[in-house]
Amino acid sequence: MSYRHDLVSVEALKSRILALEGAWQGVGRHEEAQPAASLGLEPLDRALPWSGLPTACLHEVSAGAAADGAVAGFAAYLLARLSAAAGRRQSAVLWCAAGDGLYGPGLAAYGLDTHRLILVRGRRQADLLWALEEALRSGALAAVLGEIEEADLTATRRLQLAAEAGRTTALLLRPPGGKPAPSAAVTAWRIAAAPSRAASWGAGLGRERWRLELVRCRGGLPRQWLVEWNDEANRLAVAAEFRDRSVDAPTDARRLAG
């Protein structure tokens, strides 16, 4: 499998964004923006009030205790869905990484076109937050993702406003074991690796499985699923034994749900 992604420094990002922004001027991208991107799974889309992941706003993804590569895989899957929903003219995505752990073929395995991936590496959280905000406000990208260890309510509000201004979706990746903090994110997800089922064709590992939880959703209720990645079909599926199982919701939320 061949792949390519663009690696730029934080210092070089601004000029790159300005160049992209100029290329998209006058194409009517705001009028063509989709209000929500399908997650490719009916149970997940149905759990969200928008029948999909709302675009042009902030979402958070946190790693569970046994996340391993699950959080990166799910993030790559989300970027792929957002890129596809945006169309060819606005399909580039930006990944602001805190380290050197990304592996191009691994991201491509979850459907992300690495030819449309711009990778920024930064050691300081302030630099990554700056890059995220600048990229969001440019309006030139389908989605922007940042690996952020700490972002307070003020920082997430700034990212939410930047996402609205640039009509660009923002994803914030939180590390495992992070402290819960107030956030302006519209949805919050938690993902962890789950044991795979034995392969039906004989010895060997079965399909990769994740325990996916919708922790918080504006206007919606928490949910959790056991999902598995189908390499042959290149898609995510809900495991047969865990069809749209809800987590325990607060009493007030259950009462409001009727």
pLDDT surpasses 80 at 257: no
What is the pLDDT, as a whole number, of residue 17?
59
pLDDT digits (tens, 9 = 90+) for 180-202: 789 999 999 999 999 887 666 55
pLDDT band (50, 70, 90) for residue 205:
low
Give the mean model confidence (pLDDT) for residues 121-141. Answer: 93
Report angle CA 168, 143, 158 to the nearest 5 degrees. Answer: 55
What is the pLDDT, as a whole number, of residue 240?
72
What is the pLDDT, as a whole number, of residue 218?
93
pLDDT digits (tens, 9 = 90+) for 156-184: 999 999 999 999 999 999 887 767 789 99
Q: What's the Rg (C-alpha) of the chain?
A: 18
pLDDT surpasses 50 at 24: no
What is the pLDDT, as a whole number, of residue 40?
93
pLDDT band (50, 70, 90) for residue 6:
low
Give the mean model confidence (pLDDT) for residues 84-100. Answer: 85
Determine which of 16-30, 38-52, 216-230, 236-250 has the lowest per-residue pLDDT on average.
16-30
What is the pLDDT, as a whole number, of residue 92?
94
Give the mean model confidence (pLDDT) for residues 133-140. Answer: 95
Portion of the chain with pLDDT greater than 90, in percent: 52
pLDDT surpasses 80 at 238: yes
Give the mean model confidence (pLDDT) for residues 114-127. Answer: 90
CA distance 179 to 187: 17
pLDDT digits (tens, 9 = 90+) for 66-81: 656 889 999 999 999 9
CATH (residue range 6-20+35-197+205-257): 3.40.50.300
pLDDT band (50, 70, 90) for residue 8:
low
Determine which of 3-7, 60-64, 214-218 has the lowest per-residue pLDDT on average.
3-7
In the predicted model, what is the mean pLDDT of the chain? 81
pLDDT band (50, 70, 90) for residue 106:
confident
For the CA atoms of 172, 51, 137, 4, the dihedral, rounded to the nearest 10 degrees, stands at 70
